[in-house]
């Protein structure tokens, strides 16, 4: 009897238990909500009764599908937003690849000066909230279409930028590309660094010129990274809400994410969830294409790496010019917007740039209906609403960082230990799933799942827990990726050695596995911390007045035109996020690139 | 002290293939037994099953008096309770611990007293010449030093069985020679049973008291090293052991004599009779002799390559359609293109039938 | 047609009075008992769409010692959240201060989750039509223009002006798709299509040619085809329309009149159109409803009573644009009394709005994407 028990204990290993637990948990938090969401597209919701005459709440209906895909409004709901979304996503991905790829090539393969500085700065646009640039774009280029104070360009030059330049698809694509190009920079840079120099040298020995080498050898070798960067920017661009909302709204150019948001806010969940579904399907299609196109080639880059140091290409008299140009570019996408935002927070009346107008009212002023914008809100540092939102943001970021880090360790452990088995593949796939779901759509699925009580689980709507769940799920693929690579680096033998010495599972985790990889895990925490701090699209559907976050409250203030507050909050977030990044680099030697799994 | 018994042990990771199939072995107490074979032969899997890191699909493993695994009763004893130590191929030294911490970790886990730990640490450190390295981190050590730490870490637990998984494969050639000697000394001094995994036949031959030769999960032969060398059970065993590789020539079996070209060899009575007529004859380089003049039982050949190694001269000689590698140290060396006469000087004949089994 | 309309109105009136018979048993109640019970309860939770409820609550707490927690929600969020909570048996909220009554009635009142309650002051002073649902105050939404651009006064003669070339890309309106009250208001434009058609003829001297079913929907179409700018908030519309120094300032449609309180401190050149035909905008009620399962019903009743008094309404009375049905309230300086606005603005018909807002929304959405 006790013998069978022994054997049973052998089968019930920690990694098996972990695998099963996580599969169940993730299925419940990711897969079930997806099905719930599909179900929601077939039933009548409370206020939809107005659109579907004669129906009762919770009736089965095909009306949403009809309205979304076939009816006269389908153009507004679906077709035009779809086309806009695709234009933006493709456009921004290409642009981001171009910018990031060119910068990566210059930094890795040429003798351009100031590489270190450029590499450090090139990541910053990604850690800023994505809509910072949209806000900056508006303050710079807004024209008389949306009335109010003049934009900076218009005020200085008297030239009114045309609508297509000031609002809509063009600036959305540009600002998002400027936000997402660090993906391409990090991924392509990493791949370039790993290319075995001999591969290029042997090409040059048979007489290939520099361009031919780039075209025939270098680029094909980094295709997997290019695709990965493309996919990442595409999927993230798809699910972005803030930028298209700010820049598209004034010219009534909608995308799927704004259609989703509008329909959910307008109490048409059936349509909203359909928009989410379409976004998820597109996300999966893109991944599938990526898989088909690169699939087998993925191994290229990992194989190399031992090769000799690459010879740097001499740029001659261009080297300083190029470095200067790139620094100028980075300066204009990082410093200029931030300074513009910061200046706005100290101007009593927006748009009046004079010394008399300088004020700290929006930072430390008392609530007033008569000073400046007369918002009736106290200054940022004294405003209980804003302070509580900031507190929420940072506690959320911290909790999520810890939770995802733990999940990353445990899931990575379970996957690597059971490598090759069905259960391990299953866990791997399911933890990767959130990667394909555009942020706002992921928020929508969890809303569908947890807005109402289901069985023994009460409604989580408006709870901090729900925010923790959605952010953790969204960060999970990165955390697991980091966890897996950490475990692979450790290898099984280090743990088995402890097992042989008689250390139990808990001791092995605590004394061996976690301490060895602590810097990797720390890097794995940094990324979720940063993304949560500046996250908007993911949480926009899930916050309520009691769980307001810094980003959502700044959206609220933007809606009311209270830019000094919005900008001040963004400024605080930026300072904290950049500070954390720099600090962690100094202290732990971690870099963001590591967390991204470049 | 315990014998280690493997009884019909099988292990399969997938449904179709066996990593180890029906393996039965008795590893004698105090022996230095090597599990030898090419990569993928199941030797590491076998070792890990003995250690308890893998669980066999079926069969039984007994260490001394205790059944540590049984497919029938479901018995299973946890690795740490089997009184054995395992030195990993990668050494698996914990990079965040110092040498001393690495060595004493197991004792701390098992809540051995501080005093006792220090005492044993001193002993083991001086025995393995690690005294001056105790406070270093393992990444600061050379390969050989790391290896000694890995061994010390295991020995401090005073196991009665020591398992070594290709411990020398990460070392360079000279260090490997040194460590071989050191391991042999260790075996002598501790008296522990050592089970040693390697794919290097030379290592196996030089160190072991017993070799278990495996191929594709199946045991080919289990005997003393020279026994296998001299009397391989099959063609694979003959081929796998020995450097340079054994020569195989086609021969014809006729009643109780063997003919290779013009050479006729009388076979002992014990030879299997129901095989042939076509067999292959295995001839090691040192079992062949060369001469400038023809004599009885010699065949003519031509020198293709001359390969001096310093101590020995090896020649590749073409005889009829075959190329033989021959060691020949007497007289004046031969030259390329020289006509030579080859003579068989085997003490024990290695003759294999079509299926590859020895017929003697 | 006319007859059925009258009949249906009669039916609603009847239904309303029957309801009142049951719902308004407050007269019989002993108010002092309620007050005593309220003190016992000592607290209440209010969902509100207007931020000023919190101010009123502060004053109320100060005088009564009853703690009031006010959670501010957007109008549709308030309705669905209250509905879902009630549906799933979560009874936390005691009363709501909400908007979009057609939707609220549908989900909160008709379902029995919330009931109308008429406290003593309201019963005594409010006109009957403001008692069911109990109205905290009316909000008016107007058309506005930039006075710097138009120093000689109101440029807008008719709502149809907004669909002419002169106003192309210059009219700002909050997104109808996410503003329930706009949907309700526009159903009134459908209901009063004939008035709209007449207004068109009066302005341009010719009949309106329509591709949509009626003049109301035709207006929506033409407004959007005239490149109307969809905004996310009224604050922004008022600020954009009124900012000084603009060559081509936009015009505001349906923004809350209360934004005019900012004119002075933000130095805006903003005024509302007082001649625009056929309506100066629209009005809608902020309503008070009591949860049928309120944990603190008496405290809620007391707070509702308080909000009906001059003292309780004070936070809203400090600026233009919100009008209590309490006849003793003096209008804000420079603003007109409720009755004045009622005469010149369309209030939507509840039942018609509930039945037709889907239609309005569909047409809006059909043309919303350029």
Query: Taking 50 as the threshold, does the pLDDT of residue A305 lie above it?
Result: no
Query: Taking 80 as the threshold, does the pLDDT of residue A490 lie above it?
Result: no
Q: Left (φ > 0), alpha (ψ -120 to 50) or beta: where does A463 sit?
A: beta
Query: Taking 80 as the threshold, does the pLDDT of residue B280 lie above it?
Result: yes
B149 and B183 share a domain?
yes
B74 and B210 share a domain?
yes
The per-residue pLDDT for range A548-588, each reduced to its tens digit, is 888 888 888 887 778 888 888 888 888 888 888 888 777 76
Compare CB distances from A507 to B73, B95, B109 and report the shortest one's residue.
B109
Name the closest residue on chain A to residue B75, using Cα atoms. A3
Q: How far apart are CA C339 and CA C327, in angstroms?
A: 10
Q: How far apart are CA A434 and CA A16, in angstroms?
A: 23
Q: How far apart are CA C301 and CA A225, in angstroms?
A: 65
Q: How far apart are CA A349 and CA C245, in angstroms?
A: 14
Residue C155, helix vs strand vs coil: coil
H or E element: which one contains A400? helix A384-417
- CATH number where B285 lies: 2.40.50.140
H or E element: which one contains B281? strand B278-283
B47 and B135 share a domain?
yes
The per-residue pLDDT for range A390-443, each reduced to its tens digit, is 999 999 999 999 999 888 888 888 888 877 788 888 888 888 888 778 888 888
Q: Do chains C and A touch (3 or more CB pairs under 8 A)?
A: yes
Give the residues across from B298 on adjacent strands.
Answer: B343
- The mean per-residue pLDDT over the stretch A457-465 comes to 81
**pLDDT value, residue C19:** 44
Q: Within a 10 A sphere around the Cβ of C123, how many other Cβ atoms? A: 16
The per-residue pLDDT for range B227-273, each reduced to its tens digit, is 999 999 999 999 999 888 999 988 888 777 888 877 888 887 777 76
Q: Does C250 touch chain A (CB under 8 A)?
A: yes
**pLDDT value, residue B353:** 86
A501/B88 CB distance under 8 A: no
- For the CA atoms of A82, A87, A88, A91, the dihedral, rounded to the nearest 10 degrees, stands at 160
Name the closest residue on chain C to residue A269, using Cα atoms. C80
Q: Within a 10 A sphere around the Cβ of B70, how many other Cβ atoms? A: 18
B193 and B106 share a domain?
yes
Non-local CB neighbours of A343 within 8 Å, separated by 6+ positions: A353
- In the structure, what pLDDT confidence band is assigned to residue A301 with cuts at 50, 70 and 90? very low
- For the CA atoms of A561, A565, A570, A574, the dihedral, rounded to the nearest 10 degrees, stands at 160
Q: C141 φ, ψ to 5°?
A: -120, 140
**pLDDT value, residue C26:** 46
C74/A370 CB distance under 8 A: no
- The mean per-residue pLDDT over the stretch A113-141 comes to 83
**Residues A505 and A574 sit within 8 Å (Cβ to Cβ):** no
Query: Taking 80 as the threshold, does the pLDDT of residue A523 lie above it?
Result: no
B196 and B259 share a domain?
no
Find the radius of gyration of the CA atoms of chain B: 24
**pLDDT value, residue C252:** 92
Whether the ipTM is more than 0.90: the answer is no
Q: What is the DSSP string of B25-68?
A: EEE-TT-EEEEE-STTSSHHHHHHHHHTSS--SEEEEEETTEEE
- In the structure, what pLDDT confidence band is assigned to residue A9 with cuts at 50, 70 and 90? low
Nearest to C141 by CA among C182, C83, C93: C182
Mean pLDDT of chain C: 85
- In the structure, what pLDDT confidence band is assigned to residue A310 with cuts at 50, 70 and 90? low
Q: C321 φ, ψ to 5°?
A: 100, -5
B31 and B79 share a domain?
yes
Domain positions in chain C are 15-138+284-334, 139-282+354-368
- In the structure, what pLDDT confidence band is assigned to residue C221 with cuts at 50, 70 and 90? very high
Query: Taking 70 as the threshold, does the pLDDT of residue A296 lie above it?
Result: no
**pLDDT value, residue A311:** 65
Give the best-scoring range by mean pLDDT among A381-385, B6-10, C364-368: B6-10
Non-local CB neighbours of B229 within 8 Å, separated by 6+ positions: B205, B241, B242
DSSP state of B274: S
List chain C residues with CB under 8 Å of A51: 358, 361-362
B26 and B152 share a domain?
yes
B42 and B93 share a domain?
yes
| Fold observed for domain A62-356 | MetI-like fold (1.10.3720)
The residue with tokens 């002598």 is B188
Token reading at A376? 């009736």
**pLDDT value, residue C319:** 83
**% of chain A residues with pLDDT over 70:** 92
Domain span holding position B315: 245-352
**Residues A256 and A238 sit within 8 Å (Cβ to Cβ):** yes
**pLDDT value, residue B247:** 92
The per-residue pLDDT for range B185-213, each reduced to its tens digit, is 889 988 889 999 999 999 999 999 999 99
**% of chain C residues with pLDDT over 90:** 35
Domain positions in chain A are 62-356
> How many Cα atoms within 13 Å fall on the side-chain side of residue B240?
28
| Residue that is last in its domain, among B239, B255, B273 | B239
- In the structure, what pLDDT confidence band is assigned to residue A97 with cuts at 50, 70 and 90? very high
A493/B53 CB distance under 8 A: no
**Residues B193 and B185 sit within 8 Å (Cβ to Cβ):** no
Nearest to A138 by CA among A164, A98, A109, A167: A167
**Residues C361 and A51 sit within 8 Å (Cβ to Cβ):** yes
Name the closest residue on chain C to residue A71, using Cα atoms. C366
What CA–CA distances, in Å, run from B251 to B236, B248, B282, B320, C108?
18, 9, 10, 13, 101
Non-local CB neighbours of A292 within 8 Å, separated by 6+ positions: none
Token reading at A44? 């009548």
Q: Do chains C and B touch (3 or more CB pairs under 8 A)?
A: no
**pLDDT value, residue A306:** 44
**Residues C210 and C218 sit within 8 Å (Cβ to Cβ):** yes
Token reading at A553? 């409250």
Q: How far apart are CA B201 and CA B213, in angstroms?
A: 10
Least confident of A116-130, C95-109, C225-239: A116-130
B256 and B326 share a domain?
yes
B39 and B187 share a domain?
yes
Is the preceding peptide bond at C95 cis, omega within 30 degrees of 0?
Answer: no
Token reading at A512? 């061996």
Query: Taking 70 as the threshold, does the pLDDT of residue A95 lie above it?
Result: yes
Query: Taking 90 as the threshold, does the pLDDT of residue A539 lie above it?
Result: no
- The mean per-residue pLDDT over the stretch C90-113 comes to 89
Q: How far apart are CA A255 and CA A276, in angstroms?
A: 11
Query: Taking 90 as the threshold, does the pLDDT of residue B219 lie above it?
Result: yes
Query: Taking 80 as the threshold, does the pLDDT of residue A204 lie above it?
Result: no
For an interface test with C, which of A84, A147, A544, A557 has the most C Cβ atoms less than 10 Å from its Cβ? A147
**pLDDT value, residue B269:** 73
Q: B194 φ, ψ to 5°?
A: -115, 130
B311 and B294 share a domain?
yes
Angle in degrees, 0-180, between the axes of helices A550-559 and A563-588, rounded to the nearest 10: 160
Nearest to A96 by CA among A229, A218, A214, A247: A229
Query: Taking 50 as the threshold, does the pLDDT of residue A116 lie above it?
Result: yes
**% of chain B residues with pLDDT over 70:** 99
The residue with tokens 């000592």 is C42
Query: Taking 60 as the threshold, does the pLDDT of residue A19 lie above it?
Result: yes
CATH number for the domain whose boundaries are C15-138+284-334: 3.40.190.10
Nearest to B190 by CA among B222, B134, B226, B152: B152
Q: How far apart are CA B61 and CA B52, in angstroms?
A: 10
The residue with tokens 């940022």 is A380
C73/A545 CB distance under 8 A: yes
List chain A residues with CB under 8 Å of C366: 72-73, 75-76
Q: Does C244 touch chain A (CB under 8 A)?
A: no
Query: Taking 70 as the threshold, does the pLDDT of residue A595 lie above it?
Result: no
Mean pLDDT of chain A: 82
Query: Taking 80 as the threshold, does the pLDDT of residue B320 lie above it?
Result: yes
Query: Taking 70 as the threshold, does the pLDDT of residue C11 lie above it?
Result: no
Distance from CA of B217 to the nearest CA of A (A): 20
CATH number for the domain whose boundaries are C139-282+354-368: 3.40.190.10
The per-residue pLDDT for range A40-71, each reduced to its tens digit, is 899 888 777 777 777 777 888 888 899 889 98
DSSP state of B82: S
Q: How far apart are CA B193 and CA B191, in angstroms?
A: 7
The structural domain count of chain B equals 2
B169 and B120 share a domain?
yes
Query: Taking 90 as the threshold, does the pLDDT of residue B224 lie above it?
Result: yes
**Residues C185 and C254 sit within 8 Å (Cβ to Cβ):** yes
**Residues A91 and A173 sit within 8 Å (Cβ to Cβ):** yes
Query: Taking 60 as the threshold, does the pLDDT of residue C3 lie above it?
Result: no
Pairing of the two strands C134-146 and C270-272: antiparallel
A499/B79 CB distance under 8 A: yes
B257-260, strands of its sheet edge to edge? B263-266, B257-260, B247-254, B278-283, B350-352
Q: How far apart are CA B167 and CA B87, in angstroms?
A: 7
Q: How far apart are CA A378 and CA A368, in angstroms?
A: 7
Helices (H), C94-214: 101-104, 120-125, 180-191, 193-204
Least confident of A8-22, A263-277, A451-465, C3-17: C3-17
Query: Taking 80 as the threshold, does the pLDDT of residue B65 lie above it?
Result: yes
Which residues 55-114 in chain C show a CB within 8 A of chain A? 71-74, 76-77, 79-81, 83-85, 87-88, 90, 103, 106-107
């Amino acid at each position: 009897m006790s013998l069978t028990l022994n054997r049973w204990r052998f089968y019930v290993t920690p990694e098996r238990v972990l695998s099963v637990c996580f599969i169940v948990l993730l299925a419940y938090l990711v897969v079930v909500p997806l099905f719930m969401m599909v179900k929601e597209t077939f039933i009548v919701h409370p206020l939809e009764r107005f659109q579907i005459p004669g129906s009762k709440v919770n009736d089965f209906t095909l009306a949403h599908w009809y309205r979304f895909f076939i009816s006269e409004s389908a153009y507004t709901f679906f077709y035009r937003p779809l086309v806009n979304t695709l234009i933006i996503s493709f456009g921004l991905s290409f642009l981001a690849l171009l910018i990031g790829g060119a910068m990566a090539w210059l930094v890795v393969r040429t003798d351009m000066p100031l590489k270190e500085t450029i590499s450090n700065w090139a990541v910053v646009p990604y850690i800023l909230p994505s809509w910072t640039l949209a806000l900056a774009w508006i303050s710079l280029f807004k024209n008389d279409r949306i009335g109010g104070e003049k934009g900076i360009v218009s005020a200085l030059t008297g030239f009114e930028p045309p609508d297509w330049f000031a609002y809509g698809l063009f600036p959305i694509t540009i600002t998002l590309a400027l936000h997402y190009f660090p993906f391409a920079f990090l991924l392509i840079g990493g791949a370039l660094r790993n290319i075995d120099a001999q591969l290029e040298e042997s090409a040059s020995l048979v007489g290939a010129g520099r361009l031919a080498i780039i075209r025939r050898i270098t680029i094909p070798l980094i295709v997997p990274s290019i695709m990965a960067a493309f996919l990442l920017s595409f999927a993230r661009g798809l699910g972005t809400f803030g930028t298209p909302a700010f820049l598209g709204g004034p010219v009534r150019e909608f995308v799927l994410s704004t259609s989703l948001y509008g329909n959910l806010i307008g109490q048409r969940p059936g349509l909203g969830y359909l928009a989410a579904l379409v976004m998820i399907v597109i996300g999966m299609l893109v991944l599938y294409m990526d898989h088909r196109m690169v699939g087998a080639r993925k191994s290229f880059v990992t194989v190399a790496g031992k090769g000799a140091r690459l010879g740097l290409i001499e740029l001659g008299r261009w080297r300083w010019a190029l470095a200067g140009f790139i620094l100028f570019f980075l300066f204009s996408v990082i410093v200029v917007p931030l300074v513009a935002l910061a200046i706005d927070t100290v101007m009593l009346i927006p748009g009046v740039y004079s010394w008399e107008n300088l004020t700290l009212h929006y930072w430390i002023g008392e609530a007033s209906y008569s000073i400046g914008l007369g918002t009736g809100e106290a200054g940022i540092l004294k405003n209980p609403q804003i302070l509580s939102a900031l507190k929420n943001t940072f506690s959320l970021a911290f909790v999520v960082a810890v939770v995802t880090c733990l999940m990353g360790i445990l899931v990575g452990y379970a996957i690597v230990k059971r490598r090759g088995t069905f259960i391990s593949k299953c866990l791997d796939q399911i933890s990767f799933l959130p990667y394909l779901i555009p942020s706002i759509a992921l928020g929508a699925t969890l809303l569908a799942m947890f807005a109402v009580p289901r069985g023994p689980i009460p409604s989580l709507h408006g709870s901090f827990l729900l925010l923790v769940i959605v952010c953790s799920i969204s960060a999970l693929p990165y955390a697991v990726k980091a966890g897996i690579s950490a475990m692979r680096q450790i290898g099984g033998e280090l743990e088995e050695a402890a097992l042989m010495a008689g250390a139990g599972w808990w001791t092995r985790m605590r004394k061996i596995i976690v301490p060895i990889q602590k810097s990797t895990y720390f890097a794995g925490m940094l990324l979720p911390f940063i993304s949560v701090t500046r996250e908007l699209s993911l949480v926009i559907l899930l916050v309520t007045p009691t769980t307001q976050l810094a980003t959502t409250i700044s959206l609220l203030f933007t809606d009311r035109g209270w830019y000094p507050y919005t900008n001040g909050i963004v400024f605080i977030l930026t300072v904290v996020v950049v500070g954390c990044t720099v600090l962690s680099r100094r202290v732990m030697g971690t870099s963001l690139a590591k967390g991204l799994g470049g | 002290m315990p014998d280690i018994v493997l009884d019909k042990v099988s292990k399969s990771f997938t449904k179709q293939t066996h990593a180890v199939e029906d393996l039965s072995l008795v590893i004698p107490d105090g022996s230095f037994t090597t599990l030898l074979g090419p990569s993928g032969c199941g030797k590491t899997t076998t070792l890990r099953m003995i250690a308890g890191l893998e669980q066999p699909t079926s069969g039984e493993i007994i260490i001394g008096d205790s059944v540590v695994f049984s497919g029938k009763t479901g018995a299973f004893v946890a690795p740490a309770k089997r009184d054995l130590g395992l030195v990993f191929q990668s050494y698996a030294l914990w990079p965040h611990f110092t040498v001393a911490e690495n060595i004493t970790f197991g004792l701390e886990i098992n809540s051995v007293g501080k005093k006792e730990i220090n005492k044993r640490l001193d002993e083991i450190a001086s025995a393995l010449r690690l005294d001056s390295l105790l406070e270093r981190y393992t990444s600061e050590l050379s390969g050989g030093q790391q290896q000694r730490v890995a061994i010390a870490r295991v020995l401090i637990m005073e196991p009665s069985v020591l398992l070594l998984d290709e411990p020398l494969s990460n070392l360079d050639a000279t260090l490997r020679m040194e460590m071989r000697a050191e391991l042999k000394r260790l075996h002598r001094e501790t008296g522990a049973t050592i089970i040693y995994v390697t794919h290097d036949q030379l290592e196996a031959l030089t160190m072991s008291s017993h070799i278990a030769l495996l191929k594709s999960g199946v045991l080919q032969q289990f005997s003393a090293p020279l026994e296998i060398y001299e009397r391989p059970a099959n063609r694979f065993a003959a081929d796998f052991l020995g450097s340079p590789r054994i020569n195989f020539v086609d021969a014809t079996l006729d009643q109780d004599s063997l003919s290779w070209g013009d050479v006729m060899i009388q076979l002992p009575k014990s030879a299997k009779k129901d095989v042939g007529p076509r067999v292959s004859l295995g001839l090691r380089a040192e079992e062949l002799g060369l001469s400038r003049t023809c004599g009885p039982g010699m065949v003519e050949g031509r020198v293709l390559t001359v390969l001096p190694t310093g101590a020995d001269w090896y020649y590749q000689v073409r005889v009829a359609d075959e190329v033989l590698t021959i060691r020949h140290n007497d007289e004046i060396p031969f030259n390329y293109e020289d006509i030579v006469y080859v003579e068989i000087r085997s003490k024990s004949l290695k003759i294999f039938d079509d299926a590859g089994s020895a017929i003697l | 047609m006319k007859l059925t309309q009258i009949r249906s109105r009669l039916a609603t009136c009847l239904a309303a009075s029957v309801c009142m018979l049951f719902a308004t048993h407050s007269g019989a109640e002993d108010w002092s008992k309620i007050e005593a019970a309220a003190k016992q309860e000592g607290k209440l939770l209010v969902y509100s769409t207007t931020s000023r409820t919190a101010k009123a609550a502060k004053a109320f707490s100060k005088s009564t010692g009853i703690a009031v927690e006010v959670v501010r929600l957007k109008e549709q969020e308030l309705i669905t959240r209250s509905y879902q909570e009630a549906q799933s048996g979560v009874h936390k909220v005691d009363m709501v201060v909400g908007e979009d009554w057609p939707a609220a009635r549908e989900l909160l009142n008709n379902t029995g989750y919330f009931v109308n309650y008429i406290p003593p002051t309201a019963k005594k002073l409010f006109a009957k039509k403001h008692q069911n649902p109990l109205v905290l105050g009316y909000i008016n939404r107007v058309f506005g223009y930039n006075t710097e651009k138009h120093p000689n006064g109101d440029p807008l003669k008719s709502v149809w002006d907004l669909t002419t070339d002169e106003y192309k890309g210059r009219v700002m309106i909050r997104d109808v798709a996410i503003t329930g009250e706009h949907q309700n208001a526009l159903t009134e434009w459908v209901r009063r299509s004939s008035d709209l058609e007449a207004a068109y003829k009066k302005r341009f001297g010719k009949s309106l040619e329509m591709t949509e079913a009626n003049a109301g929907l035709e207006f929506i179409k033409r407004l959007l085809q005239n490149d109307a700018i969809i905004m996310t908030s009224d604050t922004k519309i008022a600020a954009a329309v009124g900012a000084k120094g603009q060559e081509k300032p936009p015009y505001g449609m349906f923004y809350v009149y209360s934004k005019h309180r900012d004119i002075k401190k933000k130095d805006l050149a903003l005024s509302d159109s007082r001649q625009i035909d056929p309506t100066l905008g629209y009005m809608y009620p902020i309503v008070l409803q009591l949860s049928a399962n309120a944990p603190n019903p008496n405290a809620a009743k007391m707070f509702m009573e308080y909000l009906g008094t001059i003292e309780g309404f004070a936070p809203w009375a400090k600026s233009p644009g919100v009008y209590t049905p309490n006849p003793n309230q003096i209008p804000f300086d420079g603003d007109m009394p409720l009755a004045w606005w009622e005469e010149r603005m369309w209030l939507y018909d509840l039942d018609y709005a509930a039945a037709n807002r889907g239609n309005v929304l569909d047409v809006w959405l059909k043309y919303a994407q350029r």
